[in-house]
Amino acid sequence: MNADGSNQTPLTNNRANDWHPAWSPDGTRIAFTSDRHGNLEVYVMNADGSNQTPLTNNRANDWYPAWSPDGTRIAFTSDRDGAWEIYVMNADGSNQICLTNSPGLDFYPAWSPDGTRIAFVSKRDGNGEIYVMNADGTNQACLTNNPGYDERPSWSPL
By DSSP bridging, strand 62-67 and strand 73-78 are antiparallel
DSSP-based three-state secondary structure for 54: strand
pLDDT in tens, 66-123: 999 999 999 999 999 889 999 999 999 999 999 998 887 999 999 999 999 999 999 9
| Triad 37, 38, 40: Cα angle to 5° | 90
Domains, in order of start, for the chain? 18-142 (2.120.10.30)
